Copies of this chain bind each other. A is one copy, B any other.
């Protein structure tokens, strides 16, 4: 693997094992088996590492969502459920890592998360409008933002004693019941 990726993965590992506070560039480089100097050949500053870590792992979510084959036979609830399960499956440390990354001040964490949310909203907005012809567009946008923030809250804060499958189910339920109370 290339140094660039080694550094990103090391940063993620150090972050997961320690505080955000004690995740220093020296410790990252040590874990990566390279020198501190090498980090600065690939990143202009420490926050760029965090941003790269975020990008690297968010791409898993992006892949899960946008590369998913969505057969006509699946309901929206089922689609969401499968999606969330997939994310939990491929990225079990996700919530933990995101919580740690969120602590880093000066990164583009919130921008990046918001951008992803927007992409998802657009994607599902289209998907929904394709399926449920009669939706009021304005409300749908607000509704989808509410859903996204709701999912973020559940995904990042859920107590670990609720199994992922259950969480996926509840997430899909809360969203669909909210958006389509009469279905």
Contact = CB atoms under 8 A, between A and B. Distances in A.
Contacts of A22: 105
Given A105-B19, A177-B178, A170 B142 contact: yes
7 contacts: A20-B105, A142-B162, A146-B154, A147-B174, A149-B153, A151-B153, A174-B178
A145 interface: yes
Mostly helix, strand, loop or mixed at chain A's interface? Answer: helix
B166 A177 contact: no
Interface string A81-103: 00000000000000000000011
Given A151-B153, A153-B151, A146 B174 contact: yes
A162 B75 CA distance: 29
A158 B149 contact: yes
A174 B159 contact: no
